[in-house]
């Protein structure tokens, strides 16, 4: 089963209550949440992603293949509003950990999460240290796609692939990078932090006829020829199908992601994430070196 751990601020718009916490403190925040616990929270940046992931269970009918777990810094007392909002929006989220002010990342691995989504970079970094792929959801006013198909887009190096080639580019430049990738074209790249999540998405795809699959995956990378071959051969070796592969040769990714209508885009570079978040919901993939 694909398991996603998500914080309440990534799932819902909690900006108003978070501002109260920052400006007036914990007790004022607690009183505000309790007095408004029957006021439904609006969707946050990752809400459409979660909704479409959970909808896959409805389409499969006979088996549950996706679970979303709420991981929150709230206490159960202040978290009642969140569960009330989950019920109102008809999200099939049954499991939760309310951590009373502590980082909720600690329970991501115990729940078997393949991915942890949070608005807090520090929580994401701690989750990665414990062996769980993590991404910081970047806040933006991005309009949500109306397409019923779930569309996930990934950067390549340091995301679904390891950092080994990216480090050559960062240290020695493009010419050395292309030379390295051409000479190693038939040697598969090692997996990056998001390979297990990608593998689970691909497994979900295999449960549907290809022509009717409600889940679509794209690779959106700055690579171009001749470095494309190693990527293609790596995915073949992993036996993972990518529906769309965009080799952009350094072009900005944001406009292409808008055309693709991604429900979420994962990239490790902060600049790429900031630009993409103006067009589509975006998660910055956490690297322990960041």
By annotation, the residues acting in catalysis are: 155
Q: 248: Cβ–Cβ under 8 A, 6 or more apart, which residues?
A: 220, 221, 222, 223, 224, 256
d(CA 43, CA 12): 5
d(CA 88, CA 122): 30
Alpha helices in the chain (DSSP H): 8-11, 15-24, 26-35, 47-60, 76-88, 121-129, 164-172, 174-183, 195-205, 228-238, 254-260, 270-276
Q: Which of 94, 59, 103, 88 is nearest to 208 (CA)?
A: 59
User: In this structure, what token pair is assigned to residue 276?
Assistant: 């993409």
Task: Identify the bridge partners of residue 244 per DSSP, sorted by sequence position.
Answer: 218
d(CA 156, CA 192): 9
Alpha helices in 131-253 (DSSP H): 164-172, 174-183, 195-205, 228-238
> Beta strand 2-6 with 66-72: parallel, antiparallel or unpaired?
parallel
Q: Which of 126, 290, 112 is nearest to 197 (CA)?
A: 112
């Amino acid at each position: 089963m694909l398991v996603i751990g998500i914080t309440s601020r990534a799932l819902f718009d909690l900006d108003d209550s978070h501002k109260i916490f920052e400006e007036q403190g914990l007790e004022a925040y607690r009183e505000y949440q309790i007095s408004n616990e029957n006021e439904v929270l609006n969707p946050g940046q990752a809400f459409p992603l979660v909704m479409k992931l959970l909808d896959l269970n409805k389409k499969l009918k006979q088996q549950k293949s996706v679970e979303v777990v709420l991981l929150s810094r709230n206490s159960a007392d202040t978290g009642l509003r969140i569960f009330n909002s989950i019920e109102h929006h008809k999200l099939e989220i049954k499991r939760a950990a309310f951590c009373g002010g502590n980082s909720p990342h600690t329970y991501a691995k115990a729940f078997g999460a393949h991915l942890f989504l949070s608005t807090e970079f520090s929580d994401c970094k701690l989750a990665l240290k414990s062996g769980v792929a993590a991404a910081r959801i970047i806040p933006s006013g991005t309009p949500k796609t109306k397409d019923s198909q779930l569309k996930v887009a990934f950067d390549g190096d340091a995301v679904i692939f390891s950092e080994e080639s990216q480090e050559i580019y960062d240290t020695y430049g493009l010419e050395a990078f292309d030379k390295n990738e051409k000479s190693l074209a038939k040697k598969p790249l090692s997996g990056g932090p998001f390979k297990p999540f990608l593998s689970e998405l691909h497994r979900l795809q295999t449960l549907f006829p290809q022509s009717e699959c409600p889940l679509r995956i794209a690779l959106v990378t700055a690579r171009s020829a001749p470095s494309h071959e190693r990527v293609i051969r790596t995915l073949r070796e992993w036996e993972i199908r990518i529906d769309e592969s965009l080799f952009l040769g350094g072009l900005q990714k944001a406009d292409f992601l808008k055309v693709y209508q991604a429900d979420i885009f994962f990239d490790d570079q902060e600049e790429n994430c900031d630009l993409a978040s103006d067009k589509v919901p975006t998660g910055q993939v956490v690297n322990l070196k960041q």
